[in-house]
Homo-oligomer: A and B are copies of this chain.
Amino acid sequence: MVKGYDVTKYDRPSLAVDVLLFTIDSDHLKILLVRRKDEPFKDSWSLPGGFVKMNESLDEAAVRELEEESGVKNVYLEQLYTFGSPKRDPRTRVISVTYMALVTKSHWSLRASGDVYQAEFFPIADLPKLAFDHQDIFLYGLERLRSKLGYTNISFGLLPDHFTLTDLQNVYEVILNKSLDKRNFRKKMLSIDLLLPVGVKSSGGAHRPAELYRFKKKEIVYTD
């Protein structure tokens, strides 16, 4: 790659990162959107993101932009795809390296008023029209999330440290948008070696408390 090189010799596209942040809240899969303050697409909703700085990695840029625009941090982060069609941004050439991020609902609280950005979680079944090609990014990421649910422990990114098997099943049902058989689900989850029991849940209500589990590893693990 990269032949005889002179920084001034080539026109260079701009390089941005955009982040598709998922969370589960009230039995709904939601994504974070921010309202644009400038043209183009002024006042439209878009994925949080921005330009990559010269001395940060792409991952670092994704984390930084997410926090700057929404206050959300401590997320699971995974690169999705790089979108680079010449006309995707009407101003000039902008390549976007996109990321998927996952966060546990209890871990986020969008920053209070006084902030520069208006950020809000939207249920994926009820999204506004998105700026640029962000709808494509969303669809790509949703597909990745659904797919990885099947052969990794990626759901750790959406759950608190301790959770019940019912909580876990709920994550699957909400993301896949279908109900699963409880016995088969538990059999499968306990057969792959990802979970450890930790104690007994008492909190609940007027009913039998459930066993609490945690993931053996809070990092991506492939199970096939």
Interface residues in chain A, defined as those with a beta carbon under 8 Å from any beta carbon in chain B: 1-5, 7, 10-18, 36-38, 46-58, 79, 81-82, 84-86, 89, 91-97, 131-132, 134
Distance between Cα atoms of A12 and B51 in the complex (Å):
9
Contacts of A18 in B (CB 8 A): 1
Distance between Cα atoms of A53 and B5 in the complex (Å):
14
Shortest distance between the CB of A197 and any CB in chain B (Å) = 31
Describe A's contact surface by its main secondary structure. loop
Instruction: State the oligomeric state as a number of copies.
Output: 2
Shortest distance between the CB of A203 and any CB in chain B (Å) = 39
Q: Is the CB of A37 within 8 A of B3?
A: yes
Task: Give me the 3 closest cross-chain CB pairs, A-B, nearest first.
Answer: A1-B49, A58-B84, A82-B82
Partner of A5, one of B38, B84, B131: B38
Distance between Cα atoms of A89 and B7 in the complex (Å):
13
Shortest distance between the CB of A168 and any CB in chain B (Å) = 23
Given contacts A81-B79, A82-B82, A82-B97, contact A54 B11 (CB under 8 A): yes
Given contacts A57-B85, A84-B52, contact A10 B1 (CB under 8 A): no
Q: Is the CB of B57 within 8 A of A2?
A: no
Q: Is the CB of B15 within 8 A of A2?
A: no
Shortest distance between the CB of A115 and any CB in chain B (Å) = 14
Q: Can you pick out 14 interface pairs between chain A and chain B where the beta carbons lie within 8 Å of each other? A: A1-B16, A1-B131, A1-B132, A2-B51, A2-B91, A3-B37, A5-B92, A12-B14, A15-B15, A52-B95, A55-B86, A56-B86, A57-B85, A79-B81
